[in-house]
Amino acid sequence: MKENEFIARFGRIYEHSPWVAEKAAPLVDGSADVDVIARVMEDCVDNASRERRLALIRAHPDLAGQAAVAGELTVDSETEQSSAGLDQCSPEEYVRFQALNEAYRGKFGFPFVMAVRNKSRTEILAAFESRLENDYDAEFETALLEIHKIARLRLVALGAN
């Protein structure tokens, strides 16, 4: 697979961050499997500047947030959030998500990121509350780990070798 084909195919794996695929493209053989592609892309993120990693975290939408209500999520994010039932929140759950989103962004300056595919709303809310207790550095690293999980799930869903 040529570099431009790799970028076209995998440029959306990391939310609004095609730079990851651009960095990975020259490092991955076209016949690479999901594990190899995932590891190379993870390394590209992990070796990026702290500012670039922060921008990657900030590229993610709030869970059950305004972008979801307005229909402004990427196709991947919409699929992931709906698999967790976030598109079916009760009014009380929606209010709780909004309050947690606000508290989380207020504390950390970036959105709560979690690989929610096939998680329940209860599991997500519990993780939200638990992770609010983290310090900034721990949560920064946790967000990146979750982003890598999301990317791997997207690679699998895309049917990467």
Q: Tens digits of per-residue pLDDT, 42-100?
A: 999 999 999 999 999 999 998 887 656 656 778 888 888 888 888 888 889 999 999 99
Contacts of 154 (CB under 8 A, 6+ apart): 12, 13, 76
Is the pLDDT assigned to residue 134 strictly greater than 80?
Answer: yes
What is the number of other CB atoms lying within 10 angstroms of the CB of residue 125?
Answer: 17
Cα 64 off chain centre by: 14
Domain ranges of the chain: 61-142
Contact 83, 117 (CB under 8 A): yes
Pick one of 3.30.420.40, 2.60.40.10, 3.30.300.130, 1.10.3330.10 as the CATH number of 61-142: 1.10.3330.10
**pLDDT the model gives residue 69:** 61
Contact 40, 63 (CB under 8 A): no
Q: Which of the following is catalytic: 53, 60, 131, 154?
A: 60
Q: Is the dihedral of CA 158, 36, 49, 80 positive or negative?
A: positive
Our answer to whether residue 60 is catalytic in this structure is: yes
User: Which two three-digit tokens encode residue 109?
Assistant: 């300056």
**pLDDT the model gives residue 147:** 98
**pLDDT the model gives residue 36:** 95
